[in-house]
Amino acid sequence: MVDISNNVRDFWVRHVVAKDVAHIRERERRDDRISIILDRIGFSWRVYLVAFLGFLASSWSLIAVTIITPALYFIYDRHGQFDRDAGLVLDMVTLTATILGMVIFGHLADRLGRSKLYGIEVIIVLVAVGGAAFSSAGFIIHQGRPDERGSLDIYAALFVFRAFLGLGIGAEYPMSALIAAEFSPTRWRGVMLAAVFLAQAVGRLLAYGIGVGALRGLSSQLDPAAEDVLDQTKVVLDIFWRLALSLAGIPAVFALVFRLFIPETPRFYSAVKRDIKKARESLTMLGTRTPEMIADIERIMIAGPDDAASETERRSWWKMAGDYYFGPAKGWKLLAAISIQWLLLDVVWYGVGLDSPGTLAALWLDKAPPSTSNSSAPPNWNDDPAYPNATIIETIDRNLVRTLQLSSIAALIGSMAVIPLVDCLSRRTHYLWTTWSLAALFACMAISVSQTYAEPTHHASIVFYVLAQVLFNLGPNTLTFILAAEMFPTEVRGTSYGVAAAFGKLGAIIARGIIKRAGKGQRGLVTVLAIFCVVLAVMALLVWVEPWGMAFPRVQEPRSLKWRDGGRAYKIVHSRLENRSLEDISPWPLVVAPSGEQGGPEGRRSESESDNESQAPGRGEEGFQLGRIAGGDGP
């Protein structure tokens, strides 16, 4: 057992680091040198692997819960005592717990450190998945009678474990993003975060793809002519839903093995703990032992005292956060900008994007659904108006196949396409183009549904829906995940990310209310699509207009090559943009710059602001220099 533990730890530790090293507090030089070393180390596949696997497990678990809901209705709702609101309540429990997980774990990551929490969220997901998969109704008494009941309440158990699952999923968002962003070299940060978010699309594809295979394999054993075919069907579905849910725990097990041994990020040690010795150890664990890297790491230790920084170190976190959000830096504007965007985005994304069987069934209609009386209304597990008399196996299979074809594959294409494109446009331009395009697609979809609903020409609506799924992950769905990890200083990055992501899940709750109020059928679907079109247009307008200074910061800058040939100057601008370091995007702490004096990093500016060279660099609002505390000449 000791050997296994040592082998796992060796996954991170590459060579021994000297222990007796003097600490320094010179923040600016320290951060700059750490950034340079991370750039030299390059893209870390180890960091990517552990972040990807954990995010994959949480995404897979969330989708699996959607898949199994009809089976739970069929098996355990024996006398129709549960209506469709039982599924809605389960969703609300999960989303509410997700909000709590995002806020709590995001804040604790700023106070305790990233690595101390990294792995706990995976344990929570494993407990939730395992507990739900082994939930039971207990011993059934009065079986087959109207007063039939079990010794256990499976829905109560599912409520509890769905709450745990939501807590773990919520914690996973800020933790994976923080680890990926703070361990990434500046050049690869956008690619790293986009590649981590790819896990969501992969999780969807695996959940539905494996779900189809498992259901068809298990149902092939059924004998339709058997007298006990109903009991056989319940046995098959009971195995199916437990298998679909428990398989999501496989990537979580692999992620957990390595997450428990991941080092703390050097940026957290430098910015929050002011512990350069441990920052140095973290860097040596991450990189390979080369003379160049060792020389760079040793260079971190060369610095003088920093009296200005020592004063800020003694401040409490709450005082520091208050100064950042409501002081000269006005960090609340950044937080409001990304939080509002995430809220509005998830209203649309969870409204029609997160695999709603009812929405997909309505889009798929090619003829008027058969009329049904109240006595022959479809059961609560059947959301398909075209097949009100379908069996439970047929209903689940059709849901899985449709979602796989219309949603999962399209989302995966969008997530894969954004990885090479993420640095070709500025984040703001990329966000604007894709969001405007989504608004146009939803307008086209609403018009198409109003004209071709339940008609043979309904294919246009399906095409618009598939394109929308591609654009979601090609644009705002991925970019909100990336921007929230880039916009804030290390000291408040976890808290800010957790709050912004929590606003997104609040949007998901709002979406449930919109869909329930709009109702079903053509009119309800057109109403929902029109509302979401307006929401997307508002998102784009807010980013474009930037009201009250609530704007995305400039996180990239053009890459150019300049040279002079005789009396002529030449300049070539590279097609890809160059990422700014996390410390330069939102520098902290701020210092007052004397009038007319320049210096320090350029600081935070909106991407829409002109880069006119006549503007004094490093200037912010109210005469403050948006730079870090001075104390070194940097690299």
**For residue 611, what is the DSSP state?**
-
Give 584's pLDDT tier (boundaries 50, 70, 90): confident
Q: Contact at 8 Å (CB) between 627 and 601?
A: yes
- Specify the pLDDT at position 583: 84
Q: Which residues pair with 563 in a beta bridge?
A: 570
* 385-402: average pLDDT: 86
- Specify the pLDDT at position 628: 41
Estimate the share of the chain in helix, then strand, then coil, as percent rounded to the nearest 5.
65, 5, 30
Per-residue pLDDT tens digits for 52-102: 998 999 889 888 888 888 888 888 765 555 555 667 788 888 999 999 999
Give 634's pLDDT tier (boundaries 50, 70, 90): very low
Three-state DSSP state, 621: helix
Is 215 or 562 the better-scoring residue by pLDDT? 215
* 205-217: average pLDDT: 93
- Specify the pLDDT at position 324: 93
Is 13 or 461 the better-scoring residue by pLDDT? 461
Give the span between the Cα atoms of 118 and 125, in whole angstroms: 12
Per-residue pLDDT tens digits for 314-350: 468 899 999 999 999 899 999 999 999 999 999 999 8
- Specify the pLDDT at position 203: 93
* Nearest of 179, 310, 283 to residue 589 by alpha carbon: 310
Average pLDDT of the chain, as a whole number: 79
Q: What are phi and psi of 567, to 5 degrees?
A: -95, 0
Give 19's pLDDT tier (boundaries 50, 70, 90): very low
Give 142's pLDDT tier (boundaries 50, 70, 90): low
- Per residue, the 3-state secondary structure of 352-363, as one string, reads HHCCCHHHHHHH
Is 261 or 139 the better-scoring residue by pLDDT? 261
Most confident segment among 14-28, 99-113, 340-354, 580-594: 99-113
pLDDT > 70? residue 632: no
- Specify the pLDDT at position 308: 39
* 247-266: average pLDDT: 85
Give the span between the Cα atoms of 11 and 477, in whole angstroms: 32
DSSP string for 454-480:
TSTTTHHHHHHHHHHHHHHHHTHHHHH
Which pTM value belongs to this model? 0.84
- Specify the pLDDT at position 368: 74
Q: What are phi and psi of 145, to 5 degrees?
A: -100, 160
pLDDT > 50? residue 161: yes
Helices (H), 184-290: 189-219, 229-246, 249-259, 266-268, 276-286
Three-state DSSP state, 22: coil
- Specify the pLDDT at position 352: 81
**For residue 315, what is the DSSP state?**
S
- Specify the pLDDT at position 631: 35
pLDDT > 60? residue 525: yes
- Specify the pLDDT at position 372: 59
Per-residue pLDDT tens digits for 438-495: 999 999 999 999 998 888 888 889 999 999 999 999 999 999 999 999 999 999 999 9
- The alpha carbon of 516 is separated from its chain's Cα centroid by a whole number of angstroms, namely 25
- Specify the pLDDT at position 562: 59
Type of residue at 55? F
* 131-158: average pLDDT: 72
Q: Which residues pair with 556 in a beta bridge?
A: 579
Per-residue pLDDT tens digits for 340-393: 999 999 999 988 865 577 777 778 877 777 765 555 567 777 777 778 788 899
- Specify the pLDDT at position 82: 53
